[in-house]
């Protein structure tokens, strides 16, 4: 497994691509209102990305038909935008990718539509809080498996479980690079596998289920739900390891 170590000028190029992702997500968050359709939100995100000189990197990636993943309610990741119009009490996940000058950006948020239940608030908070907790724990020299275990333990401490078979990933001159970073410990030994080093750039993305970690892919071959049929949540940032700790690149 070859995990790239990025030079400072490469990290700045990745930061530029990711800043556009962050801006897109903030625009989508601000326009998450009752009555707007998922396709309108997708078009709004694509327009923003292109207006800032980047390309929407998800469009056409592995055959994905749109620019923004819009994951509604039970859909945890990879939701395809439809004509559905947001309603009070929905929760919606946005996952956005960009390519700028040959470097990629990637991040995601989950947003409440109007007033949602306390349970949905807790579900969204679990994804966000897991992400920021994990980022705060990253140190040069720790193993990626240790980071996976940190995320798993945090998710379970909130009474939820991580989605299986999908993971965070390296990012750079491709949208998905080594390593794969599950939100749970794969195997028994967290002290095995590759170490985190200065210059590495990767995406962490907690994907939260309520009761069952098993994924089910719906008929459109993209939308991923939990086998429990309950709502899920998703948050993601791209981070770079600089001076021994993680710095978030995907902020607006």
What DSSP string describes 121-190? Answer: HHHHHHHHHHHHHHHHH-BTT-BHHHHHHHHHHHHHHTT-EEPSS-EEEE-SSSSSEEEEEESS--SS-T
Q: 239: which strand partners?
A: 202, 248
Q: What is the reported pLDDT for 146?
A: 98
Q: What is the reported pLDDT for 1?
A: 63
Instruction: Indicate whether 206 belongs to any domain.
Output: yes
Instruction: Indicate whether 3 belongs to any domain.
Output: no
Per-residue pLDDT of the chain (252 residues; tens, 9 = 90+): 689 999 999 999 999 999 999 999 999 999 999 999 999 999 999 999 999 999 999 999 999 999 999 999 999 999 999 999 999 999 999 999 999 999 999 999 999 999 999 999 999 999 999 999 999 999 999 999 999 999 999 999 999 999 999 999 999 999 999 999 999 999 999 999 999 999 999 999 999 999 999 999 999 999 999 999 999 999 999 999 999 999 999 999
- Let me know: does 66 contact 80? Beta carbons within 8 Å: yes
Q: What is the reported pLDDT for 185?
A: 97
Instruction: Indicate whether 229 belongs to any domain.
Output: yes
Structure token digits, residue 117:
């239940």
Domain count, the chain: 1
Domain that holds residue 116: 8-248
* CATH code of the domain in which 181 resides: 3.90.230.10
Q: What is the reported pLDDT for 11?
A: 98
């Amino acid at each position: 497994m070859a995990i790239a170590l990025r030079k400072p000028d490469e990290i700045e190029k990745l930061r530029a691509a990711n800043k556009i992702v962050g801006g897109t997500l903030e625009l989508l968050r601000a326009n998450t209102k009752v009555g707007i359709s998922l396709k309108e939100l997708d078009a709004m995100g694509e327009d923003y990305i292109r207006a800032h000189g980047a390309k929407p990197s998800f469009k056409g990636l592995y055959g994905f038909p749109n620019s923004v993943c819009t994951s509604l309610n039970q859909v945890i990741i990879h939701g395809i935008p439809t004509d559905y119009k947001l309603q009070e009490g929905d929760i919606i996940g946005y996952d956005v990718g960009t390519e700028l000058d040959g470097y990629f950006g990637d991040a995601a948020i989950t947003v409440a539509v109007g007033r949602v239940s306390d349970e949905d608030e807790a579900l969204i908070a679990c994804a966000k809080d897991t992400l920021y907790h994990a980022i705060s724990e990253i140190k040069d020299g720790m193993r990626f498996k240790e980071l996976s275990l940190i995320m798993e333990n945090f998710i379970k401490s909130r009474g939820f479980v991580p989605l299986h078979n999908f993971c965070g990933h390296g990012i750079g001159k491709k949208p998905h690079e080594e390593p794969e970073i599950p939100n749970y410990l794969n195997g028994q030994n967290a002290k095995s596998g590759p170490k985190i080093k200065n210059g590495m750039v990767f995406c962490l993305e907690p994907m939260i289920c309520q009761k069952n970690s098993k994924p089910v892919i719906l008929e459109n071959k993209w939308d991923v739900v939990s086998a429990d049929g309950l709502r899920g949540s998703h948050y993601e940032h791209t981070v770079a390891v600089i001076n021994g700790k993680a710095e978030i690149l995907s902020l607006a």
